[in-house]
Amino acid sequence: MVFLLTDDSRPARNLIKNYLSELHVGSPIHFLEAENGEMAYDAVKRQRIDFILLDWNLATKMTGLDVLKEVRKLEQYKEVPIIMISSESDKFNVIEALKYGANDFIVKPIAQKPFMEKVLRQIVGLK
């Protein structure tokens, strides 16, 4: 299973990797990391990703929402779980993310238990 972790903060990506390393999904978990929207979008075009964790606020031209919109246009990514992550809990952001195809939304700081529950809920949906 390949996870794409997109966040411009290395500590945030490392935290997510630490949480996900505790998952037991029957196959090895591989991580791809992107520190900006352009890198994330390039990654999904280069190889098959099974799960995308996408920060809303990226310090580049492409925001997380922009990446979400573009990824959902790709046929092979119509059903891939995407969880948006943001330090902003504004209801507008949550609604926008869900409207454009996010499967769920997590507010930073990321608490391990609710994060893992949301990820596992999406993985179970894949099977």
| Residues 85 and 110: beta-carbon distance below 8 Å | yes
Enumerate domains of the chain plus CATH numbers. 2-126 (3.40.50.2300)
Q: For residue 77, what are the contacts with CB-CB under 8 A and spacing of at least 6?
A: 44, 49, 71
Shortest CA distance to 77 belongs to which of 121, 46, 33, 32? 46
How much of the chain, in percent, has pLDDT values that exceed 70?
A: 98
Half-sphere exposure of 94 (CA within 13 A, CB side): 10
Q: Report the predicted TM-score, pTM, of the whole model to 2 decimal places.
A: 0.94
pLDDT at residue 124, rounded to an integer = 83
pLDDT at residue 102, rounded to an integer = 97
pLDDT (tens digit, 9 = 90+) per residue, 61-113?
999 999 999 999 999 999 999 999 999 888 998 999 999 999 999 999 999 99
| Residues 57 and 64: beta-carbon distance below 8 Å | yes
Mean pLDDT of 23-31: 84
How large is the greatest C-alpha to C-alpha distance in the chain, in angstroms? Answer: 37
pLDDT at residue 54, rounded to an integer = 97
